[in-house]
Amino acid sequence: MTASLSFLSILVGTAVFIIAVSPVILIILLIKDWKGNQLW
Amino acid sequence: MNPVNSAILDPTTGWLILALFSAVWVFLGWFWGRKTRQLDEFMLAGRNVGMALGVATAMATWVTSNTTMAAPQLALQLGIWGMIGYSLGSVGLMLFAPMARRIRKLLPHGYTSGDFIRLRYGNLSWRIFLVISLCYAFGWLISLGMAGGVLIHALTGIEYQLGMTVIISICVIYTLLGGLRAVIGTDFIQTILILVGVVVLAWLAIDKVGFDRIHQSVLEERPELLNLLMPAAIMFLFNNLLFGIGEIFHSNVWWSRAFAFREGVGFPAYLIAGLMWVPIPIVAGFVALTTPALGLNVPAADMVGPMVAAKLLGVGGAILVFVIVFSALASSLDSLLAATSDFITQDIYHGHINRNASDAHLHKVAKIVIISLGLMTWLLCLPRISTLASLLYFMGPFVASAIWPIVAGLYSTKANSTAASLAMLMGTGLGLYSYFAIGFYVAALVSAVVSMLLVLIGMWWRPESYDWRQLNSRSHV
């Protein structure tokens, strides 16, 4: 495996993981704000 | 090539999606705005926005059509560093996090970034800043309006003028009905759509094509894109970083959110939004790198995402990209309309035309300004003059010149008013000179360096001893 392939795989893999968990984090925060009556 | 014939979706599908989204956004705008009576509620969502909506609105606003469309283009031009360089746009959001907390603390009654410059540096700096901010806001509005028309046309074959008119009208209507609350509420839904859409697209590329095949094809056809030491890309990286910081630090789009967020929310919201934004251009760029492996001949860089999606997932993939692009456009356009309206209402109308206007009167003026901005943007976008679309890129030296006056003004009592005015003027002037004499990639850099030197010289030579309480006590004009 070349350095550029490893770099590309790790870079994109990490990026996809962060994007995938982001909506989950946002929805958890939304529910928390909603329950605490702190939405806006 | 006739774009109508080459469009991935047919116009009927395009109209159906547009109609569905338009109905949802307008309904939500009305719903969230139906009880809005006060100016603070309309302009700043009651100054009580919580963490979830705060993160989402900062994130969605910074994901523009450029993020999803220009990042693939840069990946195909500058390779891996193009993707990483674009993702450095998030640094501005993260650096703004501590500033948002300080802005909220120093100006608890503030409305715009102009309020701060006026109270901190006086009228001359304020007026120079107004020109910079308004030029930038119009550049961004026009680029978004034109991108909307062009992308809707490319994806669905719907005429440019019609697509552009629809997207501007929808954003104007729901911003008008619900103010910042409608903008922030819809931003949350748009953020979820963008994130889910991008992750599905990336997953398809990895699953159906694979890293090995993508890497091998790029290595055979465009090996320079995998070069980790590409000099042009590294130059671009620094310029993009400073441009992004300048855009965020000066623009009222971000200041109005700092004022709107509940106390304690600004810092974490901007930091988390920045972290969530980093991977978007990387993944959008990666999708572009699949084109050699898929054997796609892309007619225009804008079409990379849609073509890859259509190849991997058929019509469903094209619809997915349309939803991502529409969400990215609307989330930025609505924010810009609201923030620019606040800026014109407070700094131009209230500050220069009618200093005794009541809050109720300003509320009406803000609504008229939103309609006028929409109309003006529509008129300027109508002829589809390509030079206007690139106006935003020309704004690098303008916005970079404001970075140091803002940072020094927020954190040091010694920052000098005359030096701040000179920093903005000279930074912009020399930045523009270098834009033409050397190239676009140094313009923001030169502007920021000149501006920094002048601000630092001013602080050393004629230090002021500013009283922070002035920001609190005289926030209103």
SS (H, E, C) B137-173: HHHHHHHHHHHHHHHHHHHHCCCHHHHHHHHHHHHHH
Phi, psi (degrees; rounded to nearest 5) at B366: -60, -40
**Is B199's CB within 8 Å of A16's CB?**
yes
- What pLDDT is stored for residue B302 in this prediction? 65
**Is A40's CB within 8 Å of B53's CB?**
yes
Rounded to 10°, the helix A3-35/B51-62 angle is 140
Chain A residues in contact with B188 (beta carbon < 8 A)? 26, 30
- What pLDDT is stored for residue B428 in this prediction? 95
| Residue B278: C-alpha distances to residues B167, B214, B250 (Å) | 26, 22, 21
- Give the nearest chain A residue to B289 (CA atoms): A8
Sign of the four-CA dihedral B454, B456, B461, B466: positive
**Is B279's CB within 8 Å of A23's CB?**
no
Q: ipTM score of the complex?
A: 0.95
For residue range B209-262, what is the model confidence (pLDDT) as tens digits?
888 888 888 888 888 787 776 666 666 777 778 888 989 999 999 999 999 999
Average pLDDT of the residues of chain B:
89
Of A11-15, B386-390, B473-477, the poorest mean pLDDT is in B473-477
Tell me: pLDDT of B4 over 60: no
Tell me: pLDDT of B351 over 90: yes
Q: What is the largest CA-CA distance in chain A?
A: 52
Phi, psi (degrees; rounded to nearest 5) at B49: -75, 135
CA distance B28 to B20: 12
| pTM of the full structure | 0.92
Distance from CA of A2 to the nearest CA of B (A): 10
Q: Are B189 and A6 in contact (CB under 8 A)?
A: no
Q: How far apart are the first and last CA of chain B?
A: 55
Tell me: pLDDT of B2 over 60: no
The residue that leads in pLDDT, B206 or B303, is B206
**Is B286's CB within 8 Å of A12's CB?**
yes
Q: Average pLDDT in the B177-189 region?
A: 94
Q: Average pLDDT in the B99-128 region?
A: 95
CA distance B56 to B370: 23
Phi, psi (degrees; rounded to nearest 5) at B295: 65, 30
Tell me: pLDDT of B305 over 80: no
- What pLDDT is stored for residue B222 in this prediction? 82
- What pLDDT is stored for residue B232 in this prediction? 64
Closest partner CB to B282 (pick from A11, A25, A29): A11
What percent of chain B stands above pLDDT 90? 59
CA distance B152 to B149: 5
**Helix then strand then coil, % of chain A, to nearest 5:** 80, 0, 20
**Is A15's CB within 8 Å of B282's CB?**
yes
Of B24-28, B112-116, B282-286, the poorest mean pLDDT is in B282-286
* Token pair recorded at residue B452: 């920094």
Closest partner CB to B211 (pick from A8, A25, A26): A8
Chain A residues contacting B, CB < 8 Å? 2-5, 7-9, 11-12, 14-16, 18-20, 22-23, 25-27, 29-30, 32-33, 38-40
- Give the nearest chain B residue to A1 (CA atoms): B212
Mutate to test the interface with B, among A5, A7, A12 (most CBs of B within 10 A): A12
Where residue B388 falls among pLDDT bands split at 50, 70, 90?
low
